[in-house]
Amino acid sequence: MSQLLDQIAAIVGPKGLLTGEDVRMRAADWLGLSTCQARAVVRPASTAELSAVMKLCHAAGQGVVAAGGLTGLVHGADCTADDIQISLERMRAVEAVDPVGRTMTVQAGIPVQAAQEAAEAHGLRFAVDWGGRGTATIGGGISTNAGGNSVVRYGMMRDNVLGIEAVLADGTVVSALNTLIKNNAAYDLKHLFIGTEGTLGIVTRAVLKLQSAPQSTNTAMLALDSFGAVQDLFVTLGKRLGSGLTAFEVMWANFYEPLAINSGRHNPPLPAGHSHYALLEMSGNDPDGDGALFERVLGEVLEAGIAADAVIAASQAQAEAMWKVRDDIEGLYHYCMPSATFDVSLPITAMERYAAELEAKARAEFGETTKIVVFGHIGDGNLHIMLGAQPFTDETRHRIEELVYAPLGALGGSISAEHGIGLEKRDWLHLCRSAEEIALMRTLKTALDPKGILNPGKVLT
């Protein structure tokens, strides 16, 4: 081992440092398609250990890449053979829960689902939730400002984090573990670490904002025959359910039919033949009245001709089966690989035309066998797209990216709604951020990480 690794080993002990085969055996992504290429994996057990490690790495100019559950979708945690990976897998504790102030302090390596379950044990809810919950960590979610299935009601990670502790590039520990809802005492430093993908600091602990756990949850899937109907449905539910609407997910037929019906992976809640399928969730605090209200509103929606068909989950198992269709990203990969995957934002009113034009352009360019899948958190203006064309070369990928991203600027859209930039979108950032914005990002990066050792090469070129 090198002198640097010997010094790190002296800080973190034998459990805290992996090298050689122990590194190569580790997956580098959530599907296990690639293995870790890092020079070493460091697994600190505390903030103090990480701080000491970072002091050494800073002095040596050693690049480090923070890793959570490796469920990120933009190659943000990829390591080269020169990098050291810093895994937070030994820092998973729930340190405190305040059921009155409704906050929870956790170490950043805790999986999202474990944090949710810890809140539930106190009758509370950590409301940021997405399909990767079992593996994704709170630190990774903070670093990508993850969104997910309940943003329409509760917002993204940024809206659900009150305080953060982070270790800077030179090992300085910034403990901004604020637990207050209101704190305008100068700069709110947590935002330096939310959505910055481990390029400005490594998040070690966080204070999460919790909600009262809902007393009832009602789930339904609706079939619709036009995108106009999808918009009418969203407006109607906003009026009738207000803040009770906690999820509004939409799958185009090109998602629903191959995945829910043809793949054999699911028991389809609704038949084929419709243009869109909406998955709705209403949460409330009146278990006796909420179900009746939900049924009444869906009845009105059917009667008004907005929805063509609907099924309300009669049990928790049925609700979970509906969510499994929407969250079956692995099934989508099986259907659509090789393909490029996207996560864009644009006004809801522009979505229908954008998606139709993209499909037409892709088919004209790559032929009728082109596979396109469209779905997303429509209530948040967030579309996910998968586009596969054969042969899938680097040039094909680049051209597909151009087709997806180029129209977004004129629509006031974004190339990343929630997954971040990582390596994958870095070269397209200029399409939705001005030169002045990017220059300010560089100023921040240089101020906090002058040697460029934190997640080298990611986000900014």
Q: What does the binding site for ligand FAD look like in residue numbers (CB under 6 A)? A: 30, 65-73, 76-77, 88, 108, 130-132, 136-137, 139-141, 143-144, 146-148, 197-198, 202-203, 329, 418-419, 422, 455
Nearer to ligand FAD, 195 or 388 (CB): 195
Q: What is the spatial distance between Cα 202 and Cα 418, in angstroms, rounded to a whole number?
A: 19
Q: Cβ of 172: how many Cβ atoms within 10 Å?
A: 14
Nearer to ligand FAD, 146 or 373 (CB): 146
CB of 336 to ligand FAD, least distance (A): 14
Nearer to ligand FAD, 33 or 235 (CB): 33
Nearer to ligand FAD, 71 or 178 (CB): 71
CB of 414 to ligand FAD, least distance (A): 13
311: left (phi over 0), alpha (psi -120 to 50) or beta: beta
CB of 176 to ligand FAD, least distance (A): 14
The gap between the terminal CA atoms of the chain, to the nearest Å, is: 31
CB of 362 to ligand FAD, least distance (A): 23
Edge-first strand order for the sheet with 40-42 is 17-18, 40-42, 84-87, 64-67
CB of 443 to ligand FAD, least distance (A): 20
CB of 258 to ligand FAD, least distance (A): 17
Nearer to ligand FAD, 104 or 229 (CB): 104
CB of 221 to ligand FAD, least distance (A): 18
Nearer to ligand FAD, 192 or 355 (CB): 192
Nearer to ligand FAD, 131 or 258 (CB): 131
